[in-house]
Amino acid sequence: MNIEPWFLRALIGGIGIALVVGPLGCFVVWRRMAYFGDSLAHSALLGITLGLLTGIGVDPATIIVCGLFAVLLVWLQSLRILAADTLLGILAHASLSIGLIAASLLKTVRLNVTDYLFGNVLSVTNSDLMWIYGSGVLALFLMIFLWRSLILTTLHEDMARAEGVNAFAVNLCFMALMTIVIAVSSRIIGILLITSLLVIPAATARAFVRSPEGMAVLAGVLGVLSVCGGLYGSLRFDFPPGPSIVVTATIIFALLLPMMLLVRNKK
């Protein structure tokens, strides 16, 4: 069977994203930061439109804007004016709305907002693949290098400090990882959907493993299965690719839920 080049690029790109998003999603689940990931993804649209407006490129601009969003959030949290979830709600919806307004200012470039909100992995180019795998290798390298420190700070920051870990630097690196992965992935999977791919495979893997490393590997595998199944559904039934990937991840979660309950009851 002949595979069209555009579908092969979509498959390679989707697998690359899943292999990085799966392990990173474990820390999102452990740290209960799903809402932070969702808010960070919302700011990606502003980065996309600014990249097109200024001509510096979509991916670099998205990484810069998402990074500034994370820094702004940390600064506002340090002021202790409002609760973290309130700040996330304000910044997420503000950045998304500003991004939509900025998109309306584009005159020379036609921006399909729907593709960015819900993703269009079928439009992946060779340049996108370079960004996906370049940033993916960097993110995986940083996660492996910081693995022990990330685990310690996730479990207990005071204990991590007692072990000589610079918790502030580790948390900053974790936010940088989130920024890079979400900035690169949100345009492919979808701004409104990328957090689902972060959370669902990791949440599914959690019940079946005994170690953080095992959970990271299994989450990556489940993410790859979700991408492959979602792209098949998109090709076979003409479903939108981003939602199809997330629905596949949800179906896997639902099918394994009885086993998850059984495993939990045995513990």
CATH code: domain of residue 135? 1.10.3470.10
The total number of structural domains that make up the chain: 1
The encoded tokens of residue 231 equal 């792209």
The encoded tokens of residue 260 equal 């998850």
Within a domain: 197: no
pLDDT at 147: 93
Within a domain: 209: no
Within a domain: 208: no
Within a domain: 216: no
pLDDT at 96: 86
Residue 44, domain extent: 5-192
pLDDT at 15: 93
Within a domain: 43: yes
Q: Is 49 exposed, middle or buried (0-12, 13-18, 19+ CB in 10 A)?
A: buried
pLDDT at 103: 82
Within a domain: 118: yes
Within a domain: 34: yes
- Written as tens digits, the pLDDT of the chain (267 aa) is 566 788 888 899 999 999 999 999 999 999 888 888 888 888 888 888 888 888 787 878 888 888 888 888 878 877 878 887 788 888 888 888 988 888 887 777 677 777 778 888 878 888 888 988 998 899 999 999 999 999 999 888 888 888 888 888 888 888 888 888 888 887 788 888 888 999 999 999 988 888 999 999 999 999 999 999 999 998 888 888 889 999 999 999 999 988 877 766 665
Q: How far apart are CA 3 and CA 235, in angstroms?
A: 11
Q: How far apart are CA 97 and CA 30, in angstroms?
A: 30
Within a domain: 137: yes
pLDDT at 18: 93
Q: Supply the DSSP string of 146-170, one letter for each residue.
A: THHHHHHHHH-HHHHHHTT--HHHH
